[in-house]
DNA sequence: TGCCTTAAATGGAACGTTCCAATAAATCAA
DNA sequence: TTGATTTATTGGAACGTTCCATTTAAGGCA
C-alpha cells in the first residue's frame, strides 16, 4: 500500500524540474534560492510525500544534531522530572532528544551507549546507572562526544557533572532535626556504591558532629532507595533496643516508605517519629503528612545540564565546568508542628 | 584529544590486513569467515576504537532496527510503567528503543514523529497526545512504517490499538460502588477530547442504567486528569445542594487528588465518601488509604504492544488486530470496609 | 555593443556501509 | 592430471545526501 520505494531528493528534483543541489539547498533553508523556486520545490516535497534521510545527510556532514538522554530509572518520578527539564531546553533549541532508559543496569547502559554512538549522537546527558564501571565512558571520550553527567557522578572521571549540593542539603536537614530536639538520629537508605550516598551521609555526619550528637547516636541503615527500602529501614531501626527518634532519608521514595511503615505501626509521623526526605519530588507536597524535604530544583538541574551539553557541542569541546546546584530545606509537616524541645505526646497511639 | 578523524571500516581493514568486505562480514557475524580471520578483525576493531556507523549502513540496507516509543507524558507514572513494559521486550529482542516525550502536545508530537521518520525508524509504538489531529499519522502510513497505538486511540484510524477494556472496567467499578449502597454517583475528571473518556464514562453510565440509578443521580464532572483535577472535582461536587456520596475517577491521579481533598476537608475517605480509581498504578496500593482501582495490567499492555510492532516489522505489514486487555477491580480501602448497605458513621468527623 | 559583477542553479565527488558477482585457494571425484 | 565443488575472500557499484567548483542567466556600466 502507498507509494513504494520512498522518494529521494532526486525524485523531488525531477518533479520540480530543478537539480538535486537546488532541492538540498531548499531543504537547508538557504537564502540563495529564488523564493518562487523554493516554493515549487516545497510543493513537490509535499506532493511526493518525501521524507528527509538524516542518515545519508550525516554521512556527509558528520553533524548529527541528535542528542541522547540516558536515564537510570524512568519509573522514578524524580528522574522523570529531571528529564522533562532537559527536554524543555532541547525543544527550544529545535532538537528532539532521544531518551533511553538503563533501568539501573550497567549492562543495559552499555548497550544503550553503544547504540547511541552508532546512531552518531552529537552529545549526551547521562545519569549513570548504579555500579557503572569506571571505564564505561571511555569509548565516548575517545570518540570526542560531549557528555555531561547529571545528578550522579562516577568515582573518578573527567566528565563534567551537574548535581545538587548534596552535602549541604543533608547538613541542613540534619540540623533541622537536631533543632527539633532529636538526639538520636538515623540515616535511612542508599548504599555506598553511589557517590551521592557518601555526599549525603557526609553532610549528615558533619551536622551531627558540629551540633553535638555523639557518634553512638548516629545510626546509619543502608537499604534500597525505594519505598520498600524505607519500610525495611524503619522496621529494623525500631527493632533496636534504643531506637532513633528521627531519620534523614536518602531520598523521598525512602521517606514515603517510612511514613507508610509508621502509619502501619500505629505511629504518627512527625509526632512519634520525624522524617525528612531528599529531592523534594512533586508528590512530597501532597503527601499525608506533607513531607519535609531537601529541594534540589530537579528540573532546573536538568535544564542546566542540557544547556551545558549544548554549549559543549557548539564549541566542540569535551570539557566543561562542574555545576553544584543550590539546595534548600522545605519544611512541611513530617517533622512535627513545633520546635519546642518538648515533643508532643501523640494524641493516642492507636491508628 | 584522542584519535581524530574517526575510523571507518577501511581503516580497520588495513589494520587487520583484509578487505573491507571481510570486515563488514565479521561485523554482521557471518559464518562465512574463518574464525582466526574474524578474531584478527575483532582485535583491530578494538585497537582502533572503531564505532559502527549505522547511518551509512541503513543507507544501503534500509533496515534500521531502530524502534521509537512516543509517549504522551513521561511524568505520569502510569505511562512510565507502560514504557518500561515495552522496553523489556525490545531489550530481549536485542533492540534499543528510543523514547520520546510529547508532553501531551500535538505540535511537539509532530516534531517528534518527523524526527523519528528522518532517523529511519523501523516501527513505532505511540501513546498519542491528547488532541491529536486525525491526519497526524498519515505520513507514517504512506511511508509504510508500522505503528501501533497503546492505551489511547484516535477517533477514526486504521492503526491497530492495544488498550484495556475501559468500558468493562468502569462498569465493574461502578457496580462495586452501587453494591456498597451508594445511590448518587459521580464520575470525576477527564474530558471528551479523549476517546478513553467516552469509553470509561460509557461503562459508568451503563452500570448505572442496569443497576437502577436514575439519570438525575449520575453526576459527571469534567476536569484535568491529575491530582489537581481531582481536588477541583471534589470541591465543586461537594458544593452542590445534594452532593454525591461516591465517585469513579477517570484515573488514579484524579483519585489521589480526591482523597487528598477529602482529608483536607476533614472527611474520611471510604467512610464519608467512597472513591475508586482507574489504572491501578503502583502507588495505589501504598496510598493512605489504599486505593480501590481498576487494574489494567499496564506493563503487560506495554509488552503486548511491543510484541505486535515487532511482528508487524518482521512481516512487513502495516496492519494488525486490535487487542483489548482484560481488566479487574482490585478492592482496597477507599470505598470503606464493608458492604452492608448501612454505611458506617465516621468515628468523629474531625480530622 | 561588449565586458564585469552578481544572483541562481547545477554536476560531480565524497561520505561509510552492504551486497552481488567474481576470484583464489583448497578439497574432492574421476 | 583435470574438472567440479566448496570455502574464504575480495573489488566495485550503489544507497541519499552535502558541498565545492562551475556554469548559466541576468543586469549594470562604460
pLDDT tens digits, one per residue of A51-87: 999 999 999 987 888 999 999 999 999 999 999 999 9
Query: Where does residue A213 fall: left (phi above 0), alpha (psi -120 to 50 degrees), or beta otherwise?
Result: beta
Contact A103 B84 (CB under 8 A): yes
Are A335 and A275 within 8 A, CB to CB? Answer: yes
- pLDDT band at A3, cuts 50/70/90? very low
Give the span between the Cα atoms of B178 and B201, in whole angstroms.
Answer: 15
> In this predicted structure, what is the pLDDT of residue B342?
42
pLDDT, averaged across chain A? 93
Across A298-302, average pLDDT: 97
Rama region for B7: left / alpha / beta (φ>0; ψ in -120 to 50; rest): beta
Nearest nucleotide relative to A57: CA against C1': D17
What per-residue confidence (pLDDT) applies to A268? Answer: 94
Q: Which of 267-306 (A) contact B at CB < 8 A?
A: 286, 288
> Cβ neighbours of residue B241 under 8 Å, at least 6 residues apart?
none
Mean pLDDT of B167-195: 97
pLDDT band (50, 70, 90) for residue B182: very high
Q: CB–CB of B157/B102 below 8 Å?
A: no
Residue B61 CB partners (closer than 8 Å, separation 6+)? none
Res. B212: pLDDT tops 90: yes
Q: Is the dihedral of CA A182, A184, A189, A191 positive or negative?
A: positive
Which residues face B101 on adjacent strands? B71
- The runs of H, that is alpha helices, within chain A are 9-16, 20-27, 35-48, 54-61, 77-92, 106-118, 138-143, 166-179, 195-210, 227-238, 252-264, 282-286, 298-314
> What is the model's pTM?
0.91
Task: Give the 3-state secondary structure of residue A218.
Answer: strand
Cβ-based neighbour number of residue A92 at 10 Å: 9
Out of A340-344, B205-209, B276-280, B297-301, which region has the weakest mean confidence (pLDDT)? A340-344
pLDDT at B186 over 80: yes
- Cis bond upstream, residue A289 (ω within 30): yes
Taking all residues of chain B, what is their mean pLDDT, rounded to a whole number? 93
Residue B278 has pLDDT above 80, yes or no: yes
pLDDT tens for B314-351 read 999 999 999 999 999 999 999 997 544 444 333 333 33
Give me the residue label for grid cell 558532629.
Answer: A209
B142: nearest CB among A3, A52, A115: A3
Q: What is the pLDDT of residues B110-120, one digit of tens each?
A: 999 999 999 99
- Higher pLDDT: B39 or A6? It is B39
The more confidently predicted of residues B289 and B186 is B186
Identify the pLDDT of residue A251. 98
In this predicted structure, the answer to whether residue A329 has a pLDDT above a threshold of 60 is yes
User: Other C-beta atoms within 10 Å of A350: how many?
Assistant: 6
- Which residue on chain B is closest to A88 by alpha carbon? B103
Give the CA count within 13 Å in the CB-facing half-sphere of A121.
28
Contact status, residue B109 vs residue B128, Cβ threshold 8 Å: yes
pLDDT at B1: 40
Q: Is A83 close to B101, i.e. CB distance below 8 A?
A: yes
Q: Is residue A350's pLDDT more than 80?
A: no
Over residues A308-327, the mean pLDDT reads: 96
Question: H or E element: which one contains B84?
Answer: helix B77-92
Tell me the residues of chain B between 45 and 64 that have a Cβ less than 8 Å away from chain A: 49, 51-56, 58-59
Region B178-203 average pLDDT = 97
B74 shares contact with chain A (CB less than 8 Å): yes
In B, minimum Cα distance to A57 occurs at: B55
> Is residue B4's pLDDT more than 50?
yes
A8 CB-to-strand D distance under 7 Å:
yes
Residue of A172, A68, A55, A166 lying closest to A121 (CA atoms): A68
* Segment B217-235 mean pLDDT: 97
- In tens, the pLDDT along A256-277 reads 999 999 998 999 999 999 999 9
According to the model, what pLDDT value does residue A348 have?
A: 33
What is the pLDDT confidence band of residue B224, given thresholds at 50, 70 and 90? very high
Burial of A211 (0-12, 13-18, 19+ CB in 10 A): middle
Return the C-alpha cell found at A308. Answer: 551545558
Amino acid at each position: 500500500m502507498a507509494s513504494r520505494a520512498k522518494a529521494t531528493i532526486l525524485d523531488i528534483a525531477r518533479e520540480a524540474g530543478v537539480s538535486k543541489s537546488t532541492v538540498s539547498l531548499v531543504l537547508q533553508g538557504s537564502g540563495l534560492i529564488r523564493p518562487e523556486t523554493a516554493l515549487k520545490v516545497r510543493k513537490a516535497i509535499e506532493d511526493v510525500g518525501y521524507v528527509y534521510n538524516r542518515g545519508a545527510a550525516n554521512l556527509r556532514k558528520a553533524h548529527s544534531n541528535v542528542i541522547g538522554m540516558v536515564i537510570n530509572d524512568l519509573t522514578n518520578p524524580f528522574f522523570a522530572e529531571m528529564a522533562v527539564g532537559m527536554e524543555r531546553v532541547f525543544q527550544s533549541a529545535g532538537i528532539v532528544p532521544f531518551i533511553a532508559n538503563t533501568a539501573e543496569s550497567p549492562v543495559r547502559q552499555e548497550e544503550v551507549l553503544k547504540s547511541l554512538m552508532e546512531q552518531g549522537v552529537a552529545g549526551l546527558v547521562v545519569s549513570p546507572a548504579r555500579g557503572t564501571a569506571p571505564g564505561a565512558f571511555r569509548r565516548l571520550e575517545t570518540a570526542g562526544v560531549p557528555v555531561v553527567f547529571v545528578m550522579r557522578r562516577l568515582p573518578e572521571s573527567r566528565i563534567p557533572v551537574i548535581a545538587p549540593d548534596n552535602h549541604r542539603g543533608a547538613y541542613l536537614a540534619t540540623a533541622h532535626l537536631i533543632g527539633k530536639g532529636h538526639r538520636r538520629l538515623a540515616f535511612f537508605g542508599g548504599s555506598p556504591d553511589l557517590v551521592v550516598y557518601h555526599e549525603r551521609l557526609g553532610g549528615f555526619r558533619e551536622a551531627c558532629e558540629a551540633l553535638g550528637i555523639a557518634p553512638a547516636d548516629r545510626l546509619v541503615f543502608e537499604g534500597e532507595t525505594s519505598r520498600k527500602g524505607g519500610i525495611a529501614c524503619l522496621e529494623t531501626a525500631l527493632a533496636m533496643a534504643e531506637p532513633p527518634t528521627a531519620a534523614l532519608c536518602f531520598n523521598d521514595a525512602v521517606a514515603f516508605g517510612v511514613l507508610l511503615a509508621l502509619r502501619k505501626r500505629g505511629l504518627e509521623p512527625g509526632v512519634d517519629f520525624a522524617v525528612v526526605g531528599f529531592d523534594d519530588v512533586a508528590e512530597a507536597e501532597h503527601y499525608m503528612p506533607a513531607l519535609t524535604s531537601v529541594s534540589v530544583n530537579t528540573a532546573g538541574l536538568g535544564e542546566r545540564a542540557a544547556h551545558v551539553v549544548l554549549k559543549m557541542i557548539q564549541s566542540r569541546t569535551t570539557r566543561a565546568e562542574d555545576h553544584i546546584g543550590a539546595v534548600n530545606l522545605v519544611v512541611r509537616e513530617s517533622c512535627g508542628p513545633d520546635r519546642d524541645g518538648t515533643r508532643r505526646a501523640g494524641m493516642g497511639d492507636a491508628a
